[in-house]
Each structure stands twice: as C-alpha cells, then as structure tokens.
Amino acid sequence: MRRRNMEKEDIVKKEEKKRKKRNKGAFSTALGMELREHKSSFFVYFILRLFVIATMVLQLFRGNYENVFLCILTLVLLVVPSLIQVKIKIELPTALEIIMLLFIFSAEILGEINAFYIRIPAWDTVLHTLNGFLMAAIGFSLVDILNRHERFSFELSPVFMAIVAFCFSMTIGVLWEFFECGMDTFFHLDMQKDTILHSITSVMLDPNGGNVPITIKGIQDVSVNGQSLGLGGYLDIGLYDTMKDLFVNFIGAVVFSVVGFFYVKSRGKGRFAKRFIPRLKNKDKDFLSIAAENRDDAEHEGASEEKETESGE
C-alpha cells in the first residue's frame, strides 16, 4: 500500500514537472508572439535593444561595471511591456508601448550612462512630465477596465475616473522621489540633482533662536571646512529638483486626466486618448492561451502517433 502511494506521488510529481515545463515553453512562445505583434513597436524594440547591447559591451571594455548593470536592467525593462500584455492579458496601444520603450532608453542609457541629465538641463524635466502623462494613462486604464468588466455592476463617472488617474500618477511620482532619496541616502548617489542658489531663507539663521525667517542674498560662493566649493553660489541638496519633478509630473497628470475625462464623456470616441489607454485583450490576441493550446495539440498528436506506431508493431 505504501509502495503504491509512493508510485502515485512520483507520477503526480512527474506530471507537475511536465506541466511547469509546458507552461514555461508556452509563456516563452507567447512572449515572442507579443513582441512581434506590431511591426512598428517591434522595430523600435529591436533597434533599442541593439543600442543597449552595444553600450553594454563598450562599458564592459571600459571597466564601468555599474553601467553594465544599468544596461542589463534596461534590457529587462524593455521586455516588461510585453510581459504585462502576456501575463495580465492587457493590450497596450502601439503608441503607448513605443513611448514606454523610448522612455526607458532615454532614462537609463541616455540619461544615466551618457549623462544627458547633466548635458541637457531640461532632460530630467521632460522625462518627469512624460512620466506624469503615462502614469495617468495607466491609472485611467485600470479604472476604465474595471468600469467595463462584466463582474462589476457599478459605473464610475468621468470626473471620478479622471481624479483616480491623477491621484495614481501623483502617487507614482511621489514613490519615485522616495526611491531617489533612499538611493542618495544609503548609496551616496546623486539622483536628486542639486541646484545652485544665490539666496536662501531659513529660520535657523535667526540669531535669537526664534521662528523668524532670515534671508541671505547675493551669495557668490560657499566654503566647507575653510575650502571654497567654487560653484558660484549656495549648493541646494536636491530640494528644488524634487519639487520641480513633482510639479512637472503634476502637469503631465493633469493634461492626461483632462484628455481622459473627455474620452469617457464621449464614450470612447476620442482618437488621441485611445492611443494611450490600455484595454483588455480579445480572445484572438490572448497569445498565452493560444500558445498553450498549440502545445497541447502538438502533445496530443505526438501521443496519438506513438499509439498508432505501437499498435502497428
């Protein structure tokens, strides 16, 4: 009896291993199908991937292993939009997918490795504005998908959907600033870029120790431990950069929330908003299910052929 139970457990384990292997193969196939679904987004993905690999090889030869890690991270992030579509069964519009790919490349490869954040002062501002716009689109789509889902009997008003999209975008923006602050604090990076100021105001400068703000104007230089920094002003540690990032994120979130409001108001007739709002996949675009069915059919055909061969012998 015990031996039979052990044999059954072995059979169950083998079947489980086969199922996991089959699911893994189906997922890889589905991911490949997803990447190639839209020619334009696949072309952008392919070109950016080549650039990232070339940059990684170059940084490896230069011994910049931190940048090599950033390249590997970028390669992973470039696949994320397709992973989301396969795993969660959500269809990303081609325009949104291309912008996401370009955003990842611009932030990591151009911004960090090629120092565009330093070379082009507006680079960080543009990316944070775009981030606010994209996150509002994603937040809007989450509510829109729930709104259209058959299991939910309630309908949310366009105003409420726009508010949720705005709040979602701002929350992501705040969490990102938390991340930058954490990286600067614990790993001594400078993700929260500093600003040179020529005047400061602080209650800590009050000689009486009170709560009176004292202003120092015309600051031309600052010395630390008796040594001049030579920056031509006071060095602000990330405060202005953080507030600027949140402000432009706010602008991007407001813009798309307004666009999304009129999109829902017109019952999905807006062409512009439709290019940026993800939606649930149709059954004919559910590549994971299609790949799994194809593999099951192939296995059944193989099993049938084996049985025919055995019966013929």
Amino acid 151: pLDDT: 65
Higher-pLDDT residue of 230 and 15 is: 230
pLDDT band of residue 78 (cuts 50, 70, 90) is: very high
> 6-10, 84-88, 254-258: lowest mean pLDDT where?
6-10
pLDDT tens string 106-120: 999 999 999 999 899
Higher-pLDDT residue of 39 and 73 is: 73
Amino acid 289: pLDDT: 72
Amino acid 190: pLDDT: 85
- Contact between 277 and 263 (Cβ < 8 Å): yes
Exposed, middle or buried, 298 (CB in 10 Å: 0-12/13-18/19+)?
Answer: exposed
Strand, coil or helix: what is 230? Answer: coil
Higher-pLDDT residue of 90 and 205 is: 205
User: Is the pLDDT at 230 greater than 70, yes or no?
Assistant: yes
- Contact between 85 and 100 (Cβ < 8 Å): no
Amino acid 175: pLDDT: 96
- The sign of the CA dihedral 170, 142, 148, 79 is positive
pLDDT tens string 15-47: 555 555 555 667 677 667 767 777 888 999 999
Please tell me what DSSP assigns to residue 284: G
Q: What is the mean pLDDT of residues 241-252?
A: 96
